[in-house]
Amino acid sequence: MNSKNKRTLFQSLAALGLNIDLISLVRGRINQGITKNLCVPAMNCSSCPAAVATCPVGAVQNALISMRSGLSRATRNLAIMAIFSTIFVGQAVGRLPCGWFCPFGFLQDVMYKVPIRKLRTPEFLTSLRFPIFALMVFLLPVLLVDSSGNGTLWFCKWFCPAGILESWVPQFIVNPDLFSGMMDRLALKVFILILFLAWMSVSRRPFCKVLCPIGLSLGFFNKRSIFKVNVDTNRCLKCNACQRNCPANIRVYENPNSSSCFRCLGCEDVCPVSCVSHGFKLDARKNPSTGT
């Protein structure tokens, strides 16, 4: 089984495992089990009725919002877990969860298979991820508050299509009465979701490249993580087969551990001389192209 088929299998199992509470899904009630105290390094909305774990982005924003009124112990502990779990996973494997574990990454891979004309995401858009990360996840939840002094989950509210798809849509289907006074907001959410789905069908992993705060956080560790992608530059033909197959458009032989790499390992499948490999510090000291 090549990396592509293995990845599809892992992504499918992860999507099911993170959203396995089908009883809550049918009832339209958000799971409140003990596993919701766990944060996972994946874009999977905590407000999805079937979700059994917490998204670290929402956990951090909730903690920032609560700073004005005093952090509750549960909110503080969840934020600490979100931060340290991201650091731990990043230091161990970098952005490997983006390529193999994230349900929303899986959805983007599926949408890209729609047989229509494909377009490349402009490179300049990828630079937006840094200001969006700082503004939506950290600054606005703290600085912009209502008359009661309460902030809001700005990233989750306005930018996250995963939350719309996994939370708003299923809850509306099961219990539309909940949205009786929010139809305008629901219409806006659906419009945003349609725009993202259309973008995903014409471009590879656009949300991951432009907007995802989890991927950005894990990407900081790609060059320093224990898990490495390696290229034997003595054998490499520089044919750019790796770049043509790369969702992030990386010349793998130049920067195999780029912060933009999702570590899907598709470059290994297409390399004609099998000079790309991966592993935990695999030949890292022998190969200067590992990015260490």
Amino acid, single-letter form, for residue 92: A
Structure tokens at 130: 């840094």
Predicted confidence at residue 290, as pLDDT, reads: 46
Report which of 207, 180, 41 is spatially closest to residue 121, judged by C-alpha positions.
207
Percent of the chain as helix, strand, coil, to the nearest 5: 55, 5, 40
Domain edges within the chain: 3-218, 225-292
Confidence (pLDDT) at 141:
86
- 10-residue mean pLDDT profile of the chain (292 residues): values are 86 96 90 91 93 93 81 83 94 96 96 94 88 90 76 86 92 86 87 94 95 94 95 95 94 95 94 94 48 44
Whole-number Å distance between alpha carbons of 153 and 59:
10
> pLDDT at position 48, please?
93
Non-local (6+) Cβ contacts of 179 within 8 A are 171, 172, 186
pLDDT at 286: 45
Identify each DSSP E strand in 157-259 by its residue range: 227-231
CATH number of 225-292: 3.30.70.20
Q: Provide the pLDDT for residue 267.
A: 94
Rounded Cα distance between 23 and 25, Å, is 5
Report which secondary-structure segment, H or E, holds 279.
strand 276-280
What is the reported pLDDT for 101?
96
DSSP, residue by residue, 21-52: -HHHHHHT----SGGGG-B-SS---TTSTT--
Distance CA 103, CA 85 (A): 18
